[in-house]
Amino acid sequence: MLMKLNPPFDTFRIEKYAGEYKDFGLPPESTYPLRGVHYAVDYGDIEGYVGEDGANLDIFVGQGTVNGFFRVFRPELPDGEHKFYVGLSEDEEKSVLAEFGPVIIEQGRFERYDEFLAAIEKFKVRVTEGS
């Protein structure tokens, strides 16, 4: 089933479908608490917004009405990395947060859509004149 998302999420590209697993390919000696994750909902990114890792902003998309974010610990990123979610059900949100739980350093919800848009604004790529 396709879900119509409002801008800017209408540029959502799926990297991992709900139910898929992503192995992080860490060496056995790594102390990072996650070896990989299962995705409870579709996961991907949106164009025009860039996360702390330099890639398009990470987004989880579900089948509900809950919008929010979490920030994960990443050893190579001093302030961690934000991941956002749009349209999750309560159960989907619980599943996503539980999967990433060992590395979550902050999380929150947006009660209003305009709050959500304001939160991702700092990740928007700015195009300068002449570029």
Q: What is the structure's pLDDT at 1?
A: 40
Per-residue confidence in pLDDT tens, the chain, 131 aa: 445 678 888 889 999 999 999 999 999 999 999 999 999 999 999 999 999 999 999 999 999 999 999 999 999 999 999 999 999 999 999 999 999 999 999 999 999 989 999 999 999 998 765 54
Handedness of CA 127, 86, 111, 68 (dihedral sign): negative
Asked whether the beta carbons of 66 and 109 are under 8 A apart, the reply is: yes
Q: What residue spans define the domains of the chain?
A: 10-19+35-121
pTM of the model: 0.91
Distance of CA 41 to the CA centre of its chain: 11
Q: Return the beta strands (E) in 89-129 as ranges.
A: 104-110
| Distance, CA of 16 to CA of 31 (rounded, Å) | 25
